[in-house]
Structure 1
Amino acid sequence: MRTLTPADVTALERGFALLGAGGAGDTWACAMILRLQLRDVGLNVVGPADLPPDTWVVPVAYVGTPDILREKPPSGLEFATAVAGIARWSSRQPQAVLPAEGAGSNGIFALVAATGLRLPVVDADLCGRALPRLDQMSLSVLGQEPGPLALTDPTGRLVIVDGGDAASVERLVRALIPAAGGWAAVALQPLPAERLAEVGVQGTVERALALGRAHTASAGTSSTRSLAAALGARLLGQGQVLEVLRTGGAGVFGRGSISLTDRASGSIVRVEMENEYLVVLRDGAVVATTPDIICLVDGRTGQPVACEHVRSSLEVAVLQLAAAPFWMHEGRLEHVGPRAFGFPVDPVVEQGAE
């Protein structure tokens, strides 16, 4: 067990930002909330095996448009309302909190929710990186329906969604979000702790903390190659962004493409993105794909650059972090690989990923 303090928040913020692969929302505002909370109370991080097998663990996340959170920030009551709602509906009283998506602002928001509820947070999640859809969570990939789930909008309204397969629940939730004002806090049905060995992506909070500490120690003081080595990442290219093209996608998410010339080799590096960075090509050949975590960092400061903030003339480095081992098992890769996002290419994953 580890107890988090305000001194850990900067590392957590940077680590979850890296695991966001350019998506999952800005971590700054929610990190500020967490830092203030931890001044008053510590937060215990526990491994799934540290909990009694019958402990009820509730996965939480926010769903919606990240930019709207800046205009319509949370009051702090949304997660408590959603968790109370799913507890009543399921007749299961949560005793711990699990990040549904341990990346970006959702990684931090789960800690905010746990601190506010005075519950421990479990060192696991249901994604291992940023993923945009409910039907891509580990639970859904393993065949469990995501419902019942509770959504609370910024005004405090509570909606329970029950029944339906993962794809239909994803469509329904996306349809509800505009009426909710652009985002909602979500609490999934509580799970017994003994199931997390099967359905959880293990060690996500500790990975974020380790990545953030390595980033804090290296960014801005070393070369990008040294930063990549400190993070255990592969450097795929570095140079000034030549062009950013943003296009509409086939679904609810927009598509985009970033091009740069790698300063070391002269190769043209192209990064394809949707909500996250998903595919990297060098001189037309695919060299990296989701579920490996593709990050763009500022070439001067080392800070992660989100998809919505990348622009022409920005100096960036393209890094590749290994996917969580959970996704390397047979039958799982197809749900989070490039074809799951409409790219007609096979996955290229980092060998020996741990």
Structure 2
Amino acid sequence: MRKLGKQEIEDIAVGAALLGTGGGGDPYIGKLMALQAIEEYGEITLLNVDEVPDDAVVVPSAMMGAPTVMLEKAPSGEEAITAFKNLESYLGKEIFATMPIEAGGLNSMLPLALAARLGLPVVDVDGMGRAFPELQMVTFYLDGISATPMVIADEKGNTSVISTINNVWTERIARAATIEMGGTVMTAIYPMTGKNLKDSGISGILKVEEELGKAIRLAKQNNADPIKEAMKIVGGFELFRGKVADINRKTETGFARGVATFEGINEFKGETLEVSFQNEHLLAQTEQRLLCVTPDLIAVLDAETGLPITTEGIRYGARCVVVGIPCHPKWRTEKGIETVGPKYFGYDVEYVPVEELVKKGETVK
């Protein structure tokens, strides 16, 4: 157990946005919400997963919807509290703690802000080790844990309790409701026990996010390469350097979908990279080479600062570095690939681990 203060929040926000692979909500909005909550209610208690009793109830808090919508509809924080309290009432049990469902700018910060306001601890665990666009894309689903009952709440005061036959149906029904409620909602989802967390969660995610953010911050202060320092922590690879030549982005069916095109610079001059995304970056390839593919992580970083750029933040002319990071081993199982591999998203490529692509020389770093 330890306390999280303002500097920890600043570092976690940067690391979470990097692991969020372009998605997970606006990191700036999420950071401000968490910092304000700490200012008003004090530091946040962070628990290791082994400090949670086996029979305790833990509920993740998260945003659902298209990140692009948040540019015009920022959450107030009340939506998250409403969803959380309604689910606690529905369960008829006291909730022991909250946690992030994924790594992401907002979705790693939202549980911290909620915890500060409600006086609850946060557990250092999540269900992805990165961000994915759909509700069933968590390690809890791989182990048969139900996403429901769940509650969604919007900024107007609308709430809905959802109970479904399986987690794929949870995604379909909740996504349709989210679109009707304005494109984004706050959720309280995957209520589970401490034992569930220990068996199925990805432990230590907030610690890794904090280490990433700290490494980038200190590298800039010490005139070191922030991208290289960050990649040391996660075993990642620099895949491409280029400037944004085109961005084709639209919001449809509750997701931000599109393709970002990069013209190579330096040793990559003459090559063109396309990064395809659905909230999160899912596929990076040139005309000749597959560089990285889901479920491995693809992040777009500012070439000068090393700071992560979200899918809604990619701008024409920006100079960027695209990196690839190996995913958690749970995603490389047969069910993991079936759930979040390239075929699920409609890409006609086979999954190859990023380190194998690098080793084969299909990427140059």
TM-score, scaled to structure 1: 0.91
Determine if the alignment matches structure 1 residue 31 to structure 2 residue 31.
yes
> Which residue is equivalent to 2:126?
125
By how many angstroms is 1:253 displaced?
4.7
Task: Single out whichever of 13-22 and 143-152 deviates more from structure 2.
Answer: 143-152
Q: 1:66 to 1:115 in 2, by over 3 A?
A: same
State the SS of the aligned residue for 1:59.
strand
Whichever residue aligns with residue 306 of structure 1, its letter is T
Aligned 8 A contact 2:15 2:213 in 1 = yes
Structure-2 separation of matches of 1:94 and 1:282? 48
By how many angstroms is 1:228 displaced?
5.1
By how many angstroms is 1:333 displaced?
2.3
Task: Single out whichever of 296-305 and 213-222 deviates more from structure 2.
Answer: 213-222
Task: Single out whichever of 292-301 and 259-268 deviates more from structure 2.
Answer: 259-268
1:226 to 205, 225, 228: 228
By how many angstroms is 1:351 displaced?
4.1
Structure-2 separation of matches of 1:163 and 1:315? 45
Aligned pairs for 1:305-316 (under 5 A) are 305-316=309-320
Q: 1:68 to 1:254 in 2, by over 3 A?
A: closer
> Which residue is equivalent to 1:12?
12
Aligned pairs for 1:167-178 (under 5 A) are 167-178=168-179
> Which residue is equivalent to 1:241?
244
Structure-2 separation of matches of 1:56 and 1:175? 28
Q: Deviations over 1:79-127 (max 9, x none)?
A: 2221111112122221110211232211111111111111111111112
By how many angstroms is 1:248 displaced?
8.0
> Which residue is equivalent to 1:104?
105
Identity %: 28
Length, aligned pairs only: 352
Aligned 8 A contact 2:33 2:109 in 1 = no
By how many angstroms is 1:294 displaced?
0.8
By how many angstroms is 1:47 displaced?
1.4
Whichever residue aligns with residue 326 of structure 1, its letter is K
Task: Single out whichever of 248-257 and 110-119 deviates more from structure 2.
Answer: 248-257
1:260 to 254, 258, 263: 263
> Which residue is equivalent to 2:64?
63
Whichever residue aligns with residue 108 of structure 1, its letter is M
By how many angstroms is 1:209 displaced?
0.7
By how many angstroms is 1:325 displaced?
2.9
Whichever residue aligns with residue 133 of structure 2, its letter is P
Unpaired runs of at least 5, structure 1: none
Indicate the RMSD between aligned Cα atoms, in angstroms. 2.3
Aligned pairs for 1:204-215 (under 5 A) are 204-215=205-216
Q: 1:83 to 1:224 in 2, by over 3 A?
A: closer
Structure-1 separation of matches of 2:254 and 2:229? 35
Determine if the alignment matches structure 1 residue 114 to structure 2 residue 118.
no
Determine if the alignment matches structure 1 residue 337 to structure 2 residue 338.
no
TM-score, scaled to structure 2: 0.89
Task: Single out whichever of 229-238 and 22-31 deviates more from structure 2.
Answer: 229-238
Runs of 4+ deviating beyond 6 Å: 247-251
Structure-2 separation of matches of 1:62 and 1:349? 29
Structure-2 separation of matches of 1:302 and 1:157? 39
